[in-house]
Structure 1
Amino acid sequence: MRDRDVERRMLDTTKALFSRIEKITTLMTRFRTERSLAKRREDSLKIVAEMTRFPLELATTDWNILFRATTPSSRRDRRHTTVLQLRMLVDEGIRMVNTIGVLDRPKSEIRQTMISLPQGKIEITVPKSKFLDRQEALSKIEELLSSRLHNDTLITTLRGIAESILQPNIILDEQRTQIAQQWNASRVPRTMGTVKENERIISRHERITPETKAKLESFQAAWQKQMGDTNVILEGVGRAGHVAVILFLFVIYLYLFRKKIFDDNSKLLLISILILFVSSLAYFSYMMKSSDPVEYLILVPTASMLLTVIFDSRVGYNITVVMALLAGAICGGNYSIIVASLVAGALGVYTVRDIKNRTQIFRSLAFIFLGYAVCITFFGLQRSEEISKIMMQLGYALGNSIISPVLTFGLLIFFEKFFGITTDLTLLELSDYTHPLLRELSTKAPGTFHHSINMASMAEAAAKEIGANPILARVGAYYHDIGKIVAPEFFVENQISQINRHDDLDPKESARIIIDHVREGVALGRKYGLPERILEFIPAHHGKTIVSYFYAREKEQARDVSKDEFRYPGPRPRSKETAIVMLADTIEAAARAIDEPTPEKIKQLIDSIVTKRLNEGELDEADITMQDLFKIKKSFLGILLGIHHNRIKYPSQEEEQKAKKLVEQTAKTFLFPNSADALIRRIKHLGKSEE
């Protein structure tokens, strides 16, 4: 309804306000021109009193703006604006918007496009767009002020005054609206016709007409109403069965192809949490029944990237397929969301499959959005969807693409801490030589550090050969001997001088110091926050072997010697990686002790040490086969030949060396010293000519 009295009330308010403004500006003018100090003080008090009683809160700057605008700069100045002119300008603006009509609420809150206005005994219907809401009305008044005045600060002040005066004159009558809606609803016929019992609605291959379509829709509505709760239950059972089939296939995959994950409850719990997380998002997006494409906020890429970093790309991709199918099943068999989630998730897997540092996670943003954008665009073209709808879907997909990397980054840290998981990403960070422990090892025990580096090369190569984790084997080798930092001088690789600290010690005391480096290493590792998977290498690289050198010395001095006093506490290696590091540790140290290494000597050394560890039962608990050991030995041989290349003398080289010595002796005796090399070259040339 239109309130006819609003305009009169607003104009009365305007008149009262500007009368006070005129009074205050007059006092301010007199205050500035008055020479008498007493009168100036009196005017000052009056100005303060009038400003205090003024109905609106105007800042001092606003009063100064009004004063300067309405006060002539000199007696001859005729260009200034009077207070009356300002009032009339504001009155004009209020009348203008009042004539159009000012709504009592924003247009966005009014769902109807037409508004009914009573005029006497009849009602007229006017489009909503013909009226102004409050902000539009103020904009109109500001446009009017701008067209008449050329003082931006004065326009802003007057707009503020108009805003305080402005009142809506188009008022929504809630009661009359409700009555009208009920009356209109009662006039709508509830049926368009009748369908008799057993009447055939449509036959096979018959063309569907609008009337037939209406009958079919009516029949469906009646059937759903009749079924009631039964239909809801059946729909729920069908959806649950759909989900159960997908999960069953996933469990079969884990059981057959990922037995380690299937047998690890913590890893199963982690995967279950991620699947439940994605399924919950799918369920809520479906139950919202929103007109917006909220299904593109199902964060399948987040779970895909997390699983790839925690496990590997194959696990990440296969579970991505499962989650995409689950999302589609929960969303009522939505094929487009299955494909889009699968493509975006697969691209997420691709971007983190060979991740080297955590910040690389954020490069997946572009790939994920690309996957969604391609699918959304092609599905939109296929369905002839409007551009606005496609753009909205792309907007939600962009949100998903931004949220997924950020959430992956945060959740990865949480899962690593909560589930005690050591990802390849963490291992790569630990492999940096600038890690405090490795720097301390290289400074305090340089011989041990060099030994660990050589071992790491051997362990990594062997792990690749047998399908173990090469990064884990390499990092485990780096940290396996960190306990030697505590007393490096007691270990032969760190003894630079000829003095051996063990010469003055009892064999039992020496053995205790040697064995203690395992305990010290575990303590140091925990202090520096090394993950459990790395700490396992520290005791396992010696297993339950005996410190044989000091055990033999003790046997020379005493009859009854207990092996347990000279035995490492263990445990024995329980994984392929720890078994590889155990073998690499012993073989690398022994290879350095060979005086004149040859390929045959190194090969015999490797065979003997591996056989010895097998006979001692040190590899019994490790999941390693004889075929694996064969590959490990072959790999070790290749690495050691490379490490000791400059020292190794092959059979032909040994013969040549002996011949050279003989020739040198002959040359020195019969010829002159510098001719030995020339004579050797001549002999070689003659030998080739004879061949």
Structure 2
Amino acid sequence: MQEIIGKIRNILSLKLFTSLIFIALALLIYGVLYSNVKPETYDIELFSVAQKNIYSPKTVIDEQKTNMERDKAADDVGNVYEFKKEVGQNRIALISSIFDFIDDVKQDAQKSMKSPDPSDEAGQSSEMSLQDQLQSLKSKLTKNATEDITKYIPDSVFLALLQANTQDLSRVKSVVINQIGSVMGQKIKEEDVQSLRQVLEQRIKSLSFSEEIKNAAIELGKYAIVPNDLYSPDLTEERKQQARDSIEPEKIFQGELLAEKNQTIDKEVYRKLKLLGLLKSNPTIKPLVGLAIFVFVMIGTLYIHFFHLNIPEERKQNFLILISLILLSSLLIMKIIDLMEELDIEDLAYIFPAAMGPMLIRILLNERIAMIVAILIAACGSIIFHGSVDGTVDVEIALYILFSGLSGILFLSNQKHRLNILQAGIFVSFVNVLLLFFLVLMGDGQFSRMEYIYYILFAFASGISSAVLTIGFLPFFEAGFGILSTMKLIELSNPNHPLLKKILTEAPGTYHHSVMVANLADAACEAIGCNGLLARVGCYYHDIGKTRRPFFFIENQMNMDNPHDRLSPDASKDIIIAHATDGGNMLRKYKIPKEIIDIAEQHHGTTLLKFFYHKAKESKGKVEESDFRYPGPKPQTKEAAVISIADSVEAAVRSKTHPTPEEIKKVVHSIVQDRLQDGQFNECDITLKELEVVKRTLCETLNGIFHSRIEYPDMKRQKVKEA
């Protein structure tokens, strides 16, 4: 797998390759889900005969029928009238004003009779004639008036009232106003005006007035009677809208029989089929557009997460391809189960191994990505397993898949052994059973005992199959993508591994040294937040190259002479330096993960073999320093940098007989400073602050290893002394 990916990378740029991965993943997901959202269509024409029963695949609102019903309800609402009490008050005020003006004109006439006109030479009074009074009254009535009363009331009315005495005028005013108030106090529509005017006329005719005054009062009363229950466009429209809103939307329900077999497709049925997008001549594309949006959101979520990952682009691509394969594998299993539902086995979807994908991602990558994958798988499952659920997604199966996947991640969060995968599967099975009973009991459905047994079997099968598939797929993904998972590290740390047995039997001193360095490096790496387990396992294998010539390394020289005493500095240098490159080659031969190989080749960086360098200078005089340096590369990761320090520190402290804490601290500080000044940490991202933490942790660990012990007295002397 890695070779294929590498060849593609050589052809395409990194960014283009990443983009192609996202595009390919989007197209594959869309293709897998397409059949689950594509509506079934029928080749049917108007007035043709249905070849089979046609049911509605979903619930939709029938807008056309709904609007027809609402318009009908609005049409049934009649005109709305509003009783305006102020109309009657205004008419009374108007008639009262007429009488007031008549009284004013009569008073003016009386004043003109008492005061003679100075311009009249005869000294006679200038009495106002009846016509003058009429004109004065009409002038007052039309002045600043919104309604020209004189056009509707004949002059005879005004003349009769002008001629009436004050007592009769006061009485007729009171009568007319009372009658108008009585009539206008009730609701009057346009069609009621004439009849009410006649009622008022009959009432006034029965009064004891002269005919002229009665006629005048009747005319004024009729004029005052107008409609006060008026048509209101706003209220009418409001009532119509209320009637429209009271009509519930007409729906075509999922599962509703639209046409029976051999039934003629009339206009109404044809309209419903068209509305639902069931006609091949007029298919709906809304579900397909919705699916495209869903896939876009899925890919966008992955893209944003990978965009913020602070790792090399090549590793991002490997992770992305790995996630894509696991996600597509889960979808493929879903599709197979979905097709098996045609066997009339209800709720077979619950057998889906929902925890497989999240557990694989958790083991191979990390919890965060595993949770994202669990959410995406649950979302896809809600579409694939929607079955007969109203709408396009099944929320129940989505919850089941989501919590099943999350429970698998939760149980594996702190587990480092392959056996824990099976334990996690059992744990997931129990969670699945609880989830299924929650969904069943919440639905308050009626199920037989056999159906409950099926549910329990499906739930357990889902959890166990998740564990089995995870165990089965794990080696494939580890080998195919070169991913060094926690499980793989645990396997590599097994003392029965051929290479570790080789070190133990052929170079026991190196094996002991490696174990001691592993303890130091593990503690230091954990202290600065990097992978302590990787450092420990890397230490086990970092000196594997010494097994080619074990006795040329001092830790393996027990009761024997040092063979370097008989060799030239150049020969000794070549043997010592070779153990790093030999170790890398041996690890590659055994297909050990790249991270372990890098530690074996980088743990000495490009440091100088000072002893043989100075020995060569003493014998030769002029020597190239570069010839006595390790080939490197320098440590590229924090783990390799910590191991390089721990390796030198362990050897230096072990060479001392009874090292004190002060001596240990001095040795550790000296070695770290020497590495810094030599530029050995220039190519990794370890900080000075982290180096201080590493120094302190190494000192604490070494003090625990080399602490002073109590010297027990000789037992024979103690017995003699006691005797």
Quickly name the TM-score band, shorter chain normalised: 0.5 to 0.7
Give the direction of change, closer, same or farther, for the CA distance of 1:234–1:488 in structure 2 (3 Å limit): same
Q: Is 2:224 aligned against 1:355?
A: no
Q: Which of structures 1 and 2 has the bigger CA Rg? A: 2
Q: Write out per-residue CA displacement over residues 405-433 of structure 1, whole angstroms, 9 at most, x where no aligned residue.
A: 22111110111111111211111111122
Q: Distance in 2 between matches of 1:570 and 1:189?
A: 75
Q: Within 5 A, what are the aligned runs for 1:271-670?
A: 271-282=323-334, 290=342, 292-329=346-383, 331=386, 332-388=392-448, 392-497=454-559, 499-646=561-708
Q: Write out per-residue CA displacement over residues 481-519 of structure 1, whole angstroms, 9 at most, x where no aligned residue.
A: 111112111111122236211111100001011111122
Out of 300, 303, 311, the position equivalent to 1:248 is 300
Asked if the contact 1:480–1:537 (Cα under 8 Å) also holds between the matched residues in 2, the reply is: yes
Amino acid at match of 1:561: V
Q: Distance in 1 between matches of 2:680 and 2:511?
A: 25
Could you say what secondary structure the match of 2:511 adopts?
A: helix
Per the TM alignment, residue 260 of structure 1 is displaced from its structure 2 partner at its CA by 5.8
Aligned alpha-carbon RMSD (Å):
3.6
Could you say what secondary structure the match of 2:328 adopts?
A: helix
Amino acid at match of 2:374: T
Q: Distance in 1 between matches of 2:603 and 2:317?
A: 27
Provide the residue aligned with 2:69 in structure 1.
Answer: 200
Asked if the contact 1:596–1:647 (Cα under 8 Å) also holds between the matched residues in 2, the reply is: no
Q: Distance in 2 between matches of 1:196 and 1:323?
A: 39
Q: Distance in 2 between matches of 1:206 and 1:198?
A: 9
Per the TM alignment, residue 541 of structure 1 is displaced from its structure 2 partner at its CA by 0.6
Could you say what secondary structure the match of 1:620 adopts?
A: coil
Q: Within 5 A, what are the aligned runs for 1:162-173?
A: none
Amino acid at match of 2:443: R
Provide the residue aligned with 2:106 in structure 1.
Answer: none
Per the TM alignment, residue 380 of structure 1 is displaced from its structure 2 partner at its CA by 1.7
Give the direction of change, closer, same or farther, for the CA distance of 1:623–1:327 in structure 2 (3 Å limit): farther
Q: Distance in 2 between matches of 1:585 and 1:466?
A: 18
Give the direction of change, closer, same or farther, for the CA distance of 1:284–1:233 in structure 2 (3 Å limit): farther
Provide the residue aligned with 1:168 in structure 2.
Answer: none
Asked if the contact 1:324–1:341 (Cα under 8 Å) also holds between the matched residues in 2, the reply is: yes
Q: Distance in 1 between matches of 2:284 and 2:403?
A: 32
Per the TM alignment, residue 619 of structure 1 is displaced from its structure 2 partner at its CA by 1.1
Asked if the contact 2:658–2:706 (Cα under 8 Å) also holds between the matched residues in 1, the reply is: no
Provide the residue aligned with 2:162 in structure 1.
Answer: none
* Same amino acid, percent of matched pairs: 33
Q: Write out per-residue CA displacement over residues 32-51 of structure 1, whole angstroms, 9 at most, x where no aligned residue.
A: xxxxxxxxxxxxxxxxxxxx
Q: Distance in 1 between matches of 2:648 and 2:54?
A: 94
Per the TM alignment, residue 301 of structure 1 is displaced from its structure 2 partner at its CA by 0.8
Q: Distance in 2 between matches of 1:188 and 1:510?
A: 91
Q: Write out per-residue CA displacement over residues 294-341 of structure 1, whole angstroms, 9 at most, x where no aligned residue.
A: 433443311111111112334323322232233335553221122111
Q: Distance in 2 between matches of 1:409 and 1:625?
A: 38
Give the direction of change, closer, same or farther, for the CA distance of 1:565–1:207 in structure 2 (3 Å limit): closer
Q: Distance in 1 between matches of 2:566 and 2:336?
A: 75
Asked if the contact 1:488–1:494 (Cα under 8 Å) also holds between the matched residues in 2, the reply is: yes
Q: Distance in 2 between matches of 1:633 and 1:220?
A: 78
Q: Distance in 2 between matches of 1:187 and 1:215?
A: 14
Q: Distance in 2 between matches of 1:492 and 1:226?
A: 84
Q: Distance in 2 between matches of 1:213 and 1:618?
A: 71
Q: Distance in 2 between matches of 1:426 and 1:213?
A: 51
Q: Distance in 2 between matches of 1:620 and 1:215?
A: 73
Q: Distance in 2 between matches of 1:602 and 1:581?
A: 17
Give the direction of change, closer, same or farther, for the CA distance of 1:536–1:226 in structure 2 (3 Å limit): closer
Q: Distance in 2 between matches of 1:536 and 1:213?
A: 62
Give the direction of change, closer, same or farther, for the CA distance of 1:229–1:579 in structure 2 (3 Å limit): farther
Amino acid at match of 1:521: G
Could you say what secondary structure the match of 1:300 adopts?
A: coil
Per the TM alignment, residue 367 of structure 1 is displaced from its structure 2 partner at its CA by 1.9
Asked if the contact 2:53–2:257 (Cα under 8 Å) also holds between the matched residues in 1, the reply is: no
Q: Distance in 2 between matches of 1:512 and 1:359?
A: 45
TM-score between both structures, scaled by the size of structure 2: 0.58
Asked if the contact 1:293–1:392 (Cα under 8 Å) also holds between the matched residues in 2, the reply is: no
Provide the residue aligned with 1:97 in structure 2.
Answer: none
Per the TM alignment, residue 374 of structure 1 is displaced from its structure 2 partner at its CA by 1.8
Q: Distance in 2 between matches of 1:297 and 1:460?
A: 42
Structure 2: give runs of 5+ residues left out of the alignment.
1-48, 56-63, 74-243, 259-268, 387-391, 712-717
Per the TM alignment, residue 359 of structure 1 is displaced from its structure 2 partner at its CA by 3.2
Asked if the contact 1:465–1:631 (Cα under 8 Å) also holds between the matched residues in 2, the reply is: yes
Give the direction of change, closer, same or farther, for the CA distance of 1:424–1:214 in structure 2 (3 Å limit): closer
Give the direction of change, closer, same or farther, for the CA distance of 1:510–1:407 in structure 2 (3 Å limit): same
Q: Write out per-residue CA displacement over residues 358-392 of structure 1, whole angstroms, 9 at most, x where no aligned residue.
A: 23322233222222222222122222223156654
Give the direction of change, closer, same or farther, for the CA distance of 1:225–1:586 in structure 2 (3 Å limit): closer
Per the TM alignment, residue 230 of structure 1 is displaced from its structure 2 partner at its CA by 6.2
Number of equivalences = 465
Per the TM alignment, residue 593 of structure 1 is displaced from its structure 2 partner at its CA by 2.3
Moved more, 619-628 or 200-209: 200-209
Asked if the contact 2:274–2:282 (Cα under 8 Å) also holds between the matched residues in 1, the reply is: no
Structure 1: give runs of 5+ residues left out of the alignment.
1-183, 650-673, 678-691
Q: Distance in 1 between matches of 2:475 and 2:256?
A: 58
TM-score between both structures, scaled by the size of structure 1: 0.61
Q: Is 2:352 aligned against 1:270?
A: no
Moved more, 415-424 or 439-448: 439-448
Q: Distance in 2 between matches of 1:565 and 1:288?
A: 69
Give the direction of change, closer, same or farther, for the CA distance of 1:242–1:645 in structure 2 (3 Å limit): same
Out of 276, 284, 309, the position equivalent to 1:224 is 276
Moved more, 228-237 or 410-419: 228-237
Q: Distance in 2 between matches of 1:359 and 1:275?
A: 24
Give the direction of change, closer, same or farther, for the CA distance of 1:223–1:547 in structure 2 (3 Å limit): same
Asked if the contact 1:422–1:533 (Cα under 8 Å) also holds between the matched residues in 2, the reply is: yes
Q: Write out per-residue CA displacement over residues 519-554 of structure 1, whole angstroms, 9 at most, x where no aligned residue.
A: 222233234332222111111111111211101100
Q: Distance in 2 between matches of 1:189 and 1:411?
A: 44
Per the TM alignment, residue 464 of structure 1 is displaced from its structure 2 partner at its CA by 0.7
Could you say what secondary structure the match of 2:435 adopts?
A: helix
Asked if the contact 2:69–2:247 (Cα under 8 Å) also holds between the matched residues in 1, the reply is: no
Q: Distance in 1 between matches of 2:53 and 2:257?
A: 20
Give the direction of change, closer, same or farther, for the CA distance of 1:614–1:569 in structure 2 (3 Å limit): same
Q: Write out per-residue CA displacement over residues 17-64 of structure 1, whole angstroms, 9 at most, x where no aligned residue.
A: xxxxxxxxxxxxxxxxxxxxxxxxxxxxxxxxxxxxxxxxxxxxxxxx
Name the structure, 1 or 2, with higher relative contact order (CA <8 Å, separation 6+). Answer: 2
Asked if the contact 1:598–1:648 (Cα under 8 Å) also holds between the matched residues in 2, the reply is: no
